[in-house]
Amino acid sequence: MATGQVGQQNIHDVAIVGGGLAGAALAITASRMGLSVALIEAQWVASFAETKPERVIALSYGSRCHLEQLGVWEAIARAGAAPIRKVHVCEPGNRGEVGMHRGEADVEALGYVVQNAHVLSALYKAMPQDVQIYAPAQLQSLAVDTDGVQLSIRQQDGDSGLQARLLVGADGTMSRVRKLCGIGSRGWDHNRFGLVASVTPKIPHHDVAHECFRPDGPLAFLPLDAGRYSIVWTLSPRDAARIGQLDDAAFLRWLEIEAGQEMQAHLGGFVSVGPRALFPFEYRVTERFTAQRVALIGNAAHTMHPVAGQGLNLGLRDVTDLSRAMQRAVDGGRDVGAPVVLEEYAQKRCVDTASVTVFTEGLNALFCNELLPVKLARGLGMAGMDRLPALRRWLLRHAAGLAQQVFTRGSV
């Protein structure tokens, strides 16, 4: 990969603002199509490898296939990818439990728990030399006309301009690209934080993930390497501030209480906890995926509650669909920023995003609702799930990222 120089008036096929997981994956794919790519990232890219170790992601089986195609899965697996072979769902006080097994979806694992830093590091190691990287650099302004987009970016030693036929906003939830293009978004703040940490349980996890639905929100235990779990503990702002301050012993005692007896039977308590980090939970979806010569991907287009672990998995499917539309333009010798490319992309992403929104926000609303009829219904639902094979299959295929099978092995 090359480093962009201030003052150059560079002309590219594609400029990607935001070099997080979605932007970096797209940069690799677009460059391999033979397109000239600029990647503009606000942070030092080298610091990505040191991103907090407690930040992990559950990748679906479909996302693993995507990363295999990019040629980075082996490095991620070597750094540590813990398979999820079974998911166990329960609710304190509700005797119904649901267990879903990888064999029912006919896959090696329902998902893989990986560190964000390992995925970013593998993507940047695989970045083609000719991708022009501007980092740390901030997008300042943009102007669009029928032929292309002019961007102004700010780096430590001054401002520079570059041009592209297609601008991709991969700059996260607060996307500046989205705002500068006048694209609205809708959503809400969940008024909840996710406390993330790794804990070592007394009982080995045997590759089983647990999700415990409590009134404040879910408490998830994702199997990690070295017998640990990564927890995502949903807390009100007040509890987040209080629990975040507890010493390790008090923290683990609270965790055991919150996990409840149902979970204790599986986990058997905890012996240690690593560093903790807090993330605010928000739901935000763009009103449009595209504008003239502009496409949004990843969190810039949609930010989901992590209850179902769908955010990045959805973002990688954006990358797949946009890459396919771009590849068709390249094959036909056409402009990658043409309306036909953007229309194809927008159409594909609307359906998938709507279905993941219903799944994710619906799951959260269903399980965080204390109204008696809703409690009774979910109690019956959990108890009867084993007798509802169609519903089980639907849940499993979503968990494994197979429901929206836009990506299969060898398809790109």
Strand-pair category, 158-169 with 229-235: unpaired
Report strand pairing: 111-115 vs 56-60: antiparallel
Residue 231 Cβ, how far from ligand FAD at the closest point, in Å? 10
Q: Is 313 in the site for ligand FAD (CB under 6 A)?
A: yes
Which residues in the 137-176 window bind ligand FAD by CB under 6 A? 138-139, 170-172, 176
Query: Is the CA virtual torsion 4, 123, 195, 227 positive or negative?
Result: negative
Q: Is 20 in the site for ligand FAD (CB under 6 A)?
A: yes
Query: Does residue 309 bind ligand FAD (CB under 6 A)?
Result: yes
Asked if 217 touches ligand FAD (CB under 6 A), the answer is: no
Site for ligand FAD in 283-302 (CB under 6 A): 298-299
User: In the bound complex, what is the minimum distance in angstroms from residue 169's beta carbon to ligand FAD?
Assistant: 9
In the bound complex, what is the minimum distance in angstroms from residue 111's beta carbon to ligand FAD? 8
Q: Residue 58 interacts with ligand FAD (CB under 6 A)?
A: yes
Virtual torsion, Cα 128, 134, 136, 138, nearest 10 deg: -130
Is the CB of residue 136 less than 8 Å from the CB of residue 41? yes
For ligand FAD, the closer of residues 69 and 138 by Cβ is: 138
Q: Does 223 bind ligand FAD (CB under 6 A)?
A: no
Comparison of 94 and 364: residue with beta carbon closer to ligand FAD: 364
Alpha-helix residue ranges (DSSP H) falling in 111-156: 116-125
Q: Which residue number, 13 or 211, has a Cβ lying nearer to ligand FAD? A: 211
- Cross-strand partners of 16: 39, 168
CB of 306 to ligand FAD, least distance (A): 4
* Bridge partners (DSSP) listed for residue 302: 285
Per CB under 6 A, the list member of 1, 14, 16, 21 interacting with ligand FAD is 21
| Residue 279 within binding range of ligand FAD, rule CB under 6 A | yes
Among 306, 322, 363, 367, binds ligand FAD (CB under 6 A): 306
Q: How far apart are CA 284 and CA 188, in angstroms?
A: 6
Contact 79, 59 (CB under 8 A): no
Burial of 46 per CB tally in 10 Å (0-12, 13-18, 19+): exposed
Tell me the closest approach of the beta carbon of residue 268 to ligand FAD, in angstroms. Answer: 24
4 binds ligand FAD (CB under 6 A): no
Indicate the residue type of 274.
G
Q: How many CA atoms lie within 13 A of 71 on its CB side?
A: 8
Which one of 28, 30, 41, 109 is in contact with ligand FAD (CB under 6 A)? 41
| Alpha-carbon separation of residue 114 from 76, 80, 92, 278 (angstroms) | 7, 6, 28, 18
- Rg (the chain; Cα; Å): 22
The correct pick among 232, 396, 400, 403 for binding ligand FAD (CB under 6 A) is: 232
- CA 172 – CA 185 distance, rounded (Å): 13
- Work out which of 160, 310, 323, 327 binds ligand FAD, going by CB under 6 A: 310
Whichever of 58 and 395 has its CB closer to ligand FAD, that residue is 58
> Applying CB under 6 A, which part among 21-29, 90-98, 239-247, 259-267 lies near ligand FAD?
21-29
Nearer residue to ligand FAD within complex by CB, 94 or 255: 255
Q: Do residues 281 and 306 touch, judged by C-beta distance below 8 A? A: yes
**Distance (Å, whole) CA 343 – CA 71:** 29
277 versus 338: smaller Cβ distance to ligand FAD: 277
Q: Which of 4, 18, 201, 218 binds ligand FAD (CB under 6 A)?
A: 18
CA nearest to 291, candidates 170, 171, 186, 168: 168
Nearest distance from C-beta of residue 248 to ligand FAD, angstroms: 20
Answer yes or no: are the C-beta atoms of 162 and 16 closer than 8 Å. Answer: no
Q: Give residues in contact with ligand FAD (CB under 6 A).
A: 17-23, 40-43, 57-58, 138-139, 170-172, 176, 194, 196, 232, 279, 298-299, 306, 309-313, 315
